[in-house]
Amino acid sequence: MSTTRSVTAPVLVLGGGMAGVECARTLGDEGVDVLLVDRNDYHQFQPLLYQVASSQLPAEDVARPHRVIFADYPSVELRTAEVDTADLSRRTLVLGDGKTLSGSFLVMAAGARPNFFGVPGAAEHAFPLYSVADAERLRLHLQRLLQAAVDSGGSAEPGALDVVVVGGGPTGVETTGALAELMQALQHTGRLDPAGTITLVDRSPTLLGQFSDKAHAYALRKLTDVGVQVKLRAGVTVVHPDRVQFDDSSTVAARTVVWGGGESGSAVAQALGPVVGHGGRIDVRPDLTVDGHPGVYAVGDVANIPARHGDARALPQLGSVAQQSGRWAAENILRELRGEPTKPFGYKDKGIMAMIGRNAAVAEIGRHRHQVEGPIAFAAWLGVHAMLLSGVHSRTDAFLSWAWDYFDRDHAATVEVSTTPRRIAWGDDDEDVPHISLDRPGPARTAATT
């Protein structure tokens, strides 16, 4: 397909996450004008959010200002604004202040939002973990409860520090592992006895459903070893401020409920009508374009990207899918600009992996899902995450050094309620800090309820 479209307008990219940043960088490398719009002035690295929530990393270490990422990209312009609506036919975005932006191409890279599936009380009382602001809210909430317990002599009210994590996928399992270690570490300091109990809940009969049976058993064993209560085949029916009700009529008391129970396409995508498919995501063709809308692409978590080899399922919501699809969309735009045909997306499958806690990780590597556990799995996790981070940081060595220490370290020796966590030595200038606000509109506020 060749383009007759005017290229005097920039390529409009909605979303500065892994997909949007990679797309804009690839176009910027070729000197193409890009206008990147995001509600935040920073990129957030979601795979490390639970380290923020469990006080093991400060929020600013996982958020990187877009202006720093694009400092050497003169053709990439940045706009910090909430986008209210998108019009795919016109390739326009309408901002919260009523202004309209239009592009020669439009790339939808708006990510996802938590899906509470209409569970009463979940949107009001549960803590999703999808953004830096979500992670920071959860950290502050936990810190308040922990501090109150320490102030009252270490003996909190029964259940006051208990946590329920909903969702036994990688997000729920990783968060549970981190919180369980935090609780254990606090207990070992002698300042809290007992610390909170973590309960992990999932409807399915196993944890880490998309992994192999061996990994299901490994995750279950590692979590129960650190004192986690795992409740399987149990659906949450109501979330109250102080307890969670289940479909077997049982109840678990908890003032903290973490929601890792599912996600759907971002709000702005869900209003797009017929192009919206499974999970509230935008259906795309193999070349990542949106059918019936020339010059419009959708990439990353907001898109249902067809897997190849006759597999009817869409690719999973993973960082590597987001990053590679963002780059591929940019390459297809460059092809269109040269008057060449676009190419179907070829995903290089790195596999799936989860870090369950100190010295505990599981990975199924590559398309053939070669399974490894423990330090080797952690090394695989590190390699993939260093690659994902390389899109926004040049100092991935700093991440590697922090992460090995994290994996190896006995948290009991280092964590206390008010301890400043060991930082990743990014070496950024002081003024290169992101503006993280907990009040801005974000996915938590606009979470899907059905």
Ligand X SMILES: Cc1cc2nc3c(=O)[nH]c(=O)nc-3n(C[C@H](O)[C@H](O)[C@H](O)COP(=O)(O)OP(=O)(O)OC[C@H]3O[C@@H](n4cnc5c(N)ncnc54)[C@H](O)[C@@H]3O)c2cc1C
Which residues in this chain contact ligand X in the complex, by CB under 6 A?
15-20, 37-40, 46-47, 49-50, 82-83, 109-111, 129-130, 171, 266, 268, 300-302, 317-320, 322
Nearer to ligand X, 81 or 412 (CB): 81
430 CB burial (10 A radius; 0-12, 13-18, 19+): exposed
Nearer to ligand X, 238 or 438 (CB): 438
Tell me the closest approach of the beta carbon of residue 368 to ligand X, in angstroms: 18
Q: Which helix (H) or strand (E) holds 282?
A: strand 282-283
Tell me the closest approach of the beta carbon of residue 230 to ligand X, in angstroms: 19
Nearer to ligand X, 78 or 318 (CB): 318
Q: Give the ranges where 82-235 is alpha helix by DSSP (H).
A: 122-125, 132-151, 170-188, 213-225
Tell me the closest approach of the beta carbon of residue 15 to ligand X, in angstroms: 3
Nearer to ligand X, 38 or 202 (CB): 38
What is d(CA 440, CA 437) in angstroms, rounded to the nearest whole number?
6
**In the structure encoding, which two tokens stand for residue 259, read together?**
């929601």
Closest residue to ligand X using C-beta atoms: 17
Tell me the closest approach of the beta carbon of residue 86 to ligand X, in angstroms: 9
Nearer to ligand X, 111 or 121 (CB): 111
Tell me the closest approach of the beta carbon of residue 47 to ligand X, in angstroms: 4
Tell me the closest approach of the beta carbon of residue 21 to ligand X, in angstroms: 7
Report yes or no: 154 and 191 within 8 Å, Cβ to Cβ.
Answer: yes
Nearer to ligand X, 160 or 207 (CB): 207
Nearer to ligand X, 17 or 196 (CB): 17
Tell me the closest approach of the beta carbon of residue 169 to ligand X, in angstroms: 9
Interacting residues of 431 by C-beta distance below 8 A, sequence separation 6+: none
- DSSP letter, residue 21: H
Nearer to ligand X, 140 or 148 (CB): 140
Pick the closest to residue 44 from 435, 448, 446 (CA basis): 435
Distances (CA, A) of 235 to 205, 213, 359: 11, 22, 30
Tell me the closest approach of the beta carbon of residue 350 to ligand X, in angstroms: 8
**In the structure encoding, which two tokens stand for residue 412, read together?**
């009991």
> At residue 212, what is the residue type?
S
Distances (CA, A) of 8 to 130, 184, 288, 424: 36, 58, 23, 41
Nearer to ligand X, 252 or 329 (CB): 329
- DSSP letter, residue 315: P
Nearer to ligand X, 149 or 208 (CB): 208
For residue 333, the SS3 value is: helix
Tell me the closest approach of the beta carbon of residue 365 to ligand X, in angstroms: 13
Q: Do the strands 105-108 and 296-298 form a parallel or antiparallel pair, or are they unpaired?
A: parallel
Nearer to ligand X, 301 or 364 (CB): 301
Tell me the closest approach of the beta carbon of residue 313 to ligand X, in angstroms: 16
* Radius of gyration, alpha carbons of the chain: 22
Pick the closest to residue 67 from 434, 439, 437 (CA basis): 434
Residue 82, CB-side half-sphere exposure with 13 Å CA sphere = 12
Tell me the closest approach of the beta carbon of residue 324 to ligand X, in angstroms: 11
For residue 377, the SS3 value is: helix
**In the structure encoding, which two tokens stand for residue 94, read together?**
């309408």
Nearer to ligand X, 20 or 103 (CB): 20
Residue with token string 């050094």: 401
What is d(CA 206, CA 413) in angstroms, rounded to the nearest whole number?
32
Backbone angles phi, psi at 357, to 5 degrees: 160, -165
Tell me the closest approach of the beta carbon of residue 245 to ligand X, in angstroms: 25
What is d(CA 278, CA 224) in angstroms, rounded to the nearest whole number?
34
- DSSP letter, residue 305: P
